Amino acid sequence: MRLCLVLSFLAVAGPGLAEIIDRVAVIVGDGVITESEISRQIRITAFRNREKPVFTPESRRAAADRLVEQALIRREIDVSRFATATTVEYDPIYREFRKITYPSDEAYKKALADYGLIDGDLQENFQWQATLLKFIDVRFRPGIQVPESELADYYKGKFVPEWTKNTAKAAPAYDEARTDIEKILASERTDNALDRWLGQTRTQTRIIYKEEAFR
């Protein structure tokens, strides 16, 4: 009799069990990042890197961190009424990605389905990437200036040794390499400025990770 009861439970219990299908995972100021958004982020990143998506608590946490930064930047973009990238701006890199990674439409669609994504997810991701680059360039790059002495120091201390090591040839003259060095250093400083801003904004924003979403 007892056995019958157990069997009948097993027969009916499955369909009736409740499952959390989505929830708030991180609170960022007045907005939230949901658990499904984190999963989507992992899948997109894996898709673009042609890797298998990993949904461990650590990878979920890392994806959440990236989404928090996105949320902070998005908020700044909204406040400053910065224009998001247009199709013209992001479509070339999107097409380039498809051409290189999934040359045929079928392979692309199958891969998307395998990763649980749709084409819109990927386009949105490319649009965001283009918007972000544009924003960084407008918001942080103009204030960056690299003194001539640092360019010269970099040339002597890093550029020449690495060039020699990598190419086994004589390094170009300073004047020839100067523009590239300036780009490298300016880029480093821009990244630093962005990091500083993000760090500062994080401290001023209420950010709460809901632990139950990362177990």
Partner 1 sequence: MRLRFGIRLLMMLALLARPHAIFPSPADFEGKQIVGIRFEPANQPLLASDLAERILPLKAGFPLRLYEVRLAIEDLYGSGRYEDVAVDASSEADGVVITFITREALFIRGVVVDGVGEPPNPGQLVNATKLQLGARYTESQMKQAVESLLELLRVNGYYKATITPQVTPADAQQVDIRLQVDSGKRAKFDTPVIKGNPHRSVEDLIKATRWKRFFGFLGWKEVTETRVSQGLDRIRQTYQKKDFLMAKATLDRIDYKEDANRVVPNLDVEGGPKVVVKARGAKVSKGTLRTLVPIYEEQSVDKDLLVEGKRNLMEYFESKGYFDAAVDFDIGKTDKGEELIEYAIARGNRHQLAVLEITGNKYFTTPTLRERMYITPATFIRFRHGRYSGAYLKRDVNAITDLYRSNGFRDVQVTSTVEDDYQGKEQNVAVLLNVKEGVQWLVEKLEVAGVSDEQLPEIQGLLHSTEGQPYSDLNVATDQDSVLNYYYNAGYPDATFEAAVTPSAAPYRMNVKFTIKSGQRRFVRNVLVSGLKTSNPDIVSSRISLHTGEPLSQVSMIESQRRLYDLGIFARVDTALQNPDGEEHNKNVLYRVEEAHKYSLTFGFGAEIARIGGGSQVNLDAPGGTAGFSPRVSLGISRTNFRGVGHTVSLQTRVSTIQRRGVLTYLAPQFKGNPDKNLTFTGIYDDSRDIRTFSSKRTEGSVQLGQRLTKANSMQFRVGYRRVTVDQNTLKITPQLIPLLSQPINLGLVSSTFIQDRRDDSSDAHKGIYNTIDVAFAASIFGTMQQITTDPKTGLQSSVPCQAPAAGATAPDQCGKARPSFTRALGRNATYHRIGKDLIFARVLSIGTLLKSSAADVPLPERFFGGGATSHRGFGENQAGPRDATTGFPVGGKALLINTLELRFPLIGENIGGVFFHDAGNVFSNVGKITLRSSQRDLNDFDYMVHAVGFGIRYRTPIGPVRLDLAYGINTPRFIGFQGTRDELLFGGGVRTEQRISHFQFHFSLGQAF
Judged by CB under 8 A, the residue of 8, 31, 80, 157 near partner 1 is 31
Helix (H) or strand (E) holding 128: helix 119-139
Binding status of residue 67 toward partner 1 by CB under 8 A: no
89/124 with CB nearer partner 1: 124
Site residues for partner 1, 81-100, by CB under 8 A, read none
Binder to partner 1 among 24, 171, 193, 198 (CB under 8 A)? Answer: 24
Q: Does 101 bind partner 1 (CB under 8 A)?
A: no
Burial of 33 (0-12, 13-18, 19+ CB in 10 A): buried
Binding mask 151-190 for partner 1 (x = CB under 8 A): ----------------------------------------
Q: How far is the CB of 152 from partner 1 (least distance, A)?
A: 35
Question: How far is residue 144 from each of residues 52, 113, 150, measured CA to CA in Å?
Answer: 38, 43, 13
Q: 114 vs 44, 108, 136, CA distance in Å?
A: 11, 10, 33
E strands present in 46-125: none
Phi-psi group of 116: left, alpha or beta (phi > 0 → left; psi -120 to 50 → alpha; rest → beta): left
DSSP, collapsed to helix, strand or coil, labels residue 11 as helix
Q: Which of 8, 14, 98, 130 binds partner 1 (CB under 8 A)?
A: 14
**What are 32's two structure tokens?**
């939230």
Which chain residues interact with partner 1 by CB under 8 A?
2-3, 6-7, 10, 13-24, 27, 30-32, 34, 36-37, 116, 206, 208, 210
